């Protein structure tokens, strides 16, 4: 059992006061003991002292640090539904001060229930709660000397398979040759799965910006792009395509049907996410697997989709949907319906590794999203601190360090900080 620093210093001080002479021989052991003795007091004495935050990407990436009375700091990230939430972070911080960060699920539930009339069902409230909850897991893991996946019940796997999101947005009017080149580039980098975007409200093949019916030329364009990607990488690479919820039900059915010969991993959100019956109609009409859920919140949000058999795969965003514990609960719920868990991920490497701990902890994990920006935008290396390579041959190696294993690099992040709100103050 390790002594607390205070106990140790008191005892060491008393020993020194009683007898100065033995310290000559005792000195090196005394120094060694200081180095090897835990600097922490007992876990029961761990208390939250402050919560601070910073924003980048126009407020769409929220980074949270939770401070404690033992100089252990927890790091967390929230995305998308976070602009304008600075004061919400501060309110949550006030509610957490003086509490033990080790009761992560209880603190999550306290904040969620207390926010019942403040919107604690979805959106900004849950996105901020997600960042806070993630930082609590990181803090708890560091305090107990365990990686977060261990706190979540252990791991099913050591490496997390990821797919490359190519970000070949349709507003750049990519050709089938661009799709082929981009798919080939990802495979050459070692990835075994690649995702493309097919939707575009300003597609020149569209007759009406607001109407969501895909014209025959638009459906053909989508097929030609995906067929070129399939041709480039062969039959054994997983391909998926995202329509960002921008089409109507019949168009969704048509696109899913036309893509059937390409043996897709999934077609993502052909229609907006609210109507479960419409999803069920598309899913039942096609052999192309249908995936949805990046804008769903909490396990409650996924229950109707799963109960109705409306999707073939779910993709909660673990920086938005409620956090790491809630992510695990969502995955376990999906597992009851034999539905795979394939999280959406548009975060920094902190969020990516946080997601990995959840992905490792559930049996039905399928694949996690990865972004081309990690390879092309230096910002994503500057804003975090971590050991080792980010990704190798299409897999992230799960961190074995206490906590998440990736931290916010406050100095690296500062130059990208949203200037409209205080930065970690
Ligand atoms: Mg998507």
Structural tokens at position 155: 């791991």
Structure-token match 């999550």, residue found? 108
> Looking at per-residue confidence, does 29 or 148 come out higher?
148
Instruction: Report CA(110)–ligand 1 centroid distance (Å).
Output: 31
Confidence of residue 61 (pLDDT cuts 50, 70, 90): very high
Instruction: Report CA(132)–ligand 1 centroid distance (Å).
Output: 24
pLDDT value, residue 224: 98
Instruction: Report CA(124)–ligand 1 centroid distance (Å).
Output: 19
Instruction: Report CA(37)–ligand 1 centroid distance (Å).
Output: 48
For residue 15, CA distances in Å to 82, 302, 392 come to: 54, 61, 53
Confidence of residue 240 (pLDDT cuts 50, 70, 90): very high
Instruction: Report CA(41)–ligand 1 centroid distance (Å).
Output: 45
Residues surrounding ion ligand 1 at CB below 5 Å: 242, 268, 294
For residue 43, CA distances in Å to 214, 301, 335, 396, 423 come to: 58, 34, 34, 31, 29
Q: DSSP per residue over 36-54, as a string?
A: HS-S---GGG--EEEEEEE
H or E element at residue 31: helix 23-36
Instruction: Report CA(243)–ligand 1 centroid distance (Å).
Output: 7
Confidence of residue 27 (pLDDT cuts 50, 70, 90): low
Instruction: Report CA(256)–ligand 1 centroid distance (Å).
Output: 15
Average pLDDT, the chain: 92
Contacts of 334 (CB under 8 A, 6+ apart): 302, 306, 314, 340, 341, 364
Residue 249: half-sphere exposure toward Cβ, Cα within 13 Å = 13
pTM (2 decimals)?
Answer: 0.90
pLDDT value, residue 29: 57
Q: How far apart (Å, rounded) are the C-alpha atoms in residues 294 and 308? A: 18
Per-domain residue ranges for the chain? 2-36, 43-145, 151-401
Instruction: Report CA(421)–ligand 1 centroid distance (Å).
Output: 29
For residue 6, CA distances in Å to 67, 73, 230 come to: 20, 20, 63
Q: What is the mean pLDDT of residues 72-79?
A: 98
Instruction: Report CA(169)–ligand 1 centroid distance (Å).
Output: 12
Instruction: Report CA(197)–ligand 1 centroid distance (Å).
Output: 8
Instruction: Report CA(245)–ligand 1 centroid distance (Å).
Output: 8
Q: Which stretches of 340-395 are DSSP H helices?
A: 349-360, 373-376, 379-382
Contacts of 162 (CB under 8 A, 6+ apart): 191, 193, 367, 368, 369, 370, 391, 394, 395, 396
Short-list 291, 386, 377, CA closest to 334:
291
pLDDT value, residue 294: 97
pLDDT value, residue 200: 84
151-401 has which fold?
TIM Barrel (3.20.20)
Contacts of 47 (CB under 8 A, 6+ apart): 68, 69, 98, 99, 100, 101
43-145 has CATH 1.10.443.10 classification: no
Q: How far apart (Å, rounded) are the C-alpha atoms in residues 288 and 253? A: 10
């Amino acid at each position: 059992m390790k002594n607390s620093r205070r106990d140790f210093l008191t005892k060491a001080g008393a020993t020194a006061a009683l007898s100065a002479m033995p310290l000559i021989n005792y000195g090196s052991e005394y120094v060694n003991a200081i180095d090897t003795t835990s600097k922490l007091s007992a876990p029961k004495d761990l208390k939250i002292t402050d919560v601070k935050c910073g924003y980048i990407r126009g407020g769409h990436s929220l980074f949270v640090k939770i401070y404690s009375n033992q100089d252990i700091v927890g790091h967390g990230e929230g995305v998308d539904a976070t602009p304008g939430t600075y004061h919400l972070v501060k309110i949550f911080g006030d509610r957490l001060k003086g509490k033990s960060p080790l009761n992560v699920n209880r603190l999550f539930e306290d904040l969620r229930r207390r926010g019942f009339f403040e919107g604690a069902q979805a959106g900004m409230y849950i996105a901020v709660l997600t960042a806070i909850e993630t930082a609590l897991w990181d803090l708890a893991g560091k305090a107990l000397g365990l990686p977060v996946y261990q706190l979540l019940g252990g791991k099913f796997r050591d490496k997390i398979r990821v797919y490359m999101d190519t970000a070949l947005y349709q507003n750049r009017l990519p050709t089938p040759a661009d799709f082929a080149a981009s798919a080939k580039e990802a495979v050459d980098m070692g990835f075994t799965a690649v995702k493309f975007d097919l939707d575009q409200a300003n597609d020149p093949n569209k007759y009406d910006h607001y109407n969501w019916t895909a014209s025959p030329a638009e459906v053909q364009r989508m097929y030609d792009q995906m067929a070129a990607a399939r041709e480039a990488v062969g039959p054994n690479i997983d391909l998926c395509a995202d329509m960002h919820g921008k089409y109507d039900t019949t168009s969704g059915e048509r696109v899913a049907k036309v893509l059937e010969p390409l043996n897709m991993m999934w077609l993502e959100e052909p229609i907006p996410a609210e109507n479960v019956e419409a999803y069920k109609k598309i899913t039942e009409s096609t052999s192309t697997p249908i995936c949805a859920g990046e804008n769903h919140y909490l396990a409650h949000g996924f229950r109707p989709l799963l109960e109705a058999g409306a999707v073939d795969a779910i993709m909660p965003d673990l920086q938005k949907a409620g956090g790491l514990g809630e992510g695990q609960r969502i995955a376990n719920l999906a597992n009851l319906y034999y539905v795979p868990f394939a999280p959406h991920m548009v975060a920094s490497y902190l969020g990516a590794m946080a997601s990995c701990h959840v992905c490792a902890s559930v049996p039905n994990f399928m694949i996690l999203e990865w972004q081309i920006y990690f390879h092309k935008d230096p910002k994503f290396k500057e804003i975090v601190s971590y050991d080792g390579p980010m990704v190798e041959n299409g897999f992230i190696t799960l961190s074995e360090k206490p906590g998440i294993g990736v931290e916010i690099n406050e100095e690296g992040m500062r130059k990208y900080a949203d200037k409209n709100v205080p930065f970690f103050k």
